[in-house]
Amino acid sequence: MKIAFIGLGNMGGGMAANLVKAGHAVSAFDLSAGALERASASGCTPCKTVAEAVAGAEAVVSMLPNGKIVDSVYGEEVLGKAPAGALLLDCSTIDVATARKVAEAAQHAGYAMVDAPVSGGIAAAAAGTLTFMVGGRGEAFARAQPILAAMGKTVIHAGESGAGQAAKLCNNMLLAIHMIGTCEAFAMAQKLGLDPQTFYDISSVSSGQNWSITSYCPVPGVGPTSPADNNYEGGFATALMLKDLTLALAAAEEAGVDPAMGKRARELYDAFANAGNAGRDFSAIIETLG
Ligand code: NAD
């Protein structure tokens, strides 16, 4: 299949490479010359404009920084330029309202579109093991499924347009909350005289068990290898967690709900990022919770 890929950064670079490995012809565009060069080295055809990339494409995949950029790239450079009937897949993490607005504009212009944000970081994007949460009509999901399966291990239909973003934002708000709770519990256990490994052995098989303990333990040398074992480098940057919490709280406000723990998590991550930790893994917040 001929696929256009727009946005070949940390995530998109690996995803586009996996589409090539699956046998697709990928025409790639990014504003960054370096990103385009890397995409070219992994077998994509580099293009000078979005219009050049989407010409003749059966599907367009995007992995862009935010909703404003997604809105302008689709509104000004994809709709009306990609062939009629092409399937549009936006995998960026953006606000629910913009995802719905862009999908509606796409539908008016004769395209099927899905929002398909991901869970999993740069390593999962490179390894093709992402989880995709997909919003859009059933027939659009059916067409998107094999394309997404070439870049991930799990592809789930979450509901109508915007539902993929809604699922992603609710999931990441929960992740922020249980990471902070996990950090508090480990810090308190240590102050109460418990050995961290002993507390891990207990909490990882008891009712406090959660993914932040068993897959991403924030304490160095405890549990499986995680960013804590690498001085909190790599992993999921605090700035990205803060972005997702901000989007989650905007969605909560639109839905008329008031998530007290989500709000507190955003305050804590905001303060942590502003103290010079925006580029560090989000589990490093344990340093401030002792
Ligand atoms: P990134 O900044 O590394 O990549 C974004 C790319 O988009 C850059 O190469 C940039 O040059 C390009 N770009 C920006 N504006 C453009 C335009 N108008 N036209 C074409 N290209 C343009 O970011 P990333 O880490 O790859 O994240 C991409 C998306 O994935 C974000 O929405 C992010 O929230 C989401 N995400 C990231 C992670 C992660 O761990 N990095 C995990 C899950 C989801």
Residues 65, 88, single domain; the answer is yes
Q: Could you tell me the CATH number of the domain that includes residue 269?
A: 1.10.1040.10
Q: Which tokens in the block code for residue 175? A: 């992740």
Q: Check residue 189 and give its pLDDT.
A: 98
pLDDT band at 270 (very low <50, low <70, confident <90, very high): very high
**How many independent structural domains does the chain possess?**
2
Query: Are 81 and 204 contained in the same domain?
Result: no
pLDDT at residue 290 in the model = 76
Give the burial class of 270: count Cβ atoms within 10 A of its Cβ; 0-12 exposed, 13-18 middle, 19 or more buried. middle
In the set 21, 48, 81, 168, the catalytic residue is 168
Active site residue 168: yes
Which atom belonging to ligand 1 lies closest to the Cα atom of 29?
A: 20
Domain of 178, in residue numbers: 166-288
| Across 31-51, average pLDDT | 98
Q: Is the domain of 134 the same as that of 7?
A: yes
Give yes or no: residues 104 and 170 share one domain.
Answer: no
The pair phi, psi for residue 234, each rounded to 5°, is 70, -160
The residue contributing the CA closest to ligand 1 atom 13 is: 7
| pLDDT tens digit sequence for 275-284 | 999 999 999 9
Q: Nearest to residue 8, comparing CAs of 52, 71, 64, 57?
A: 64
Q: Identify whether residues 131 and 192 lie together within a single domain.
A: no
State which ligand 1 atom lies nearest to the alpha carbon of 13.
26
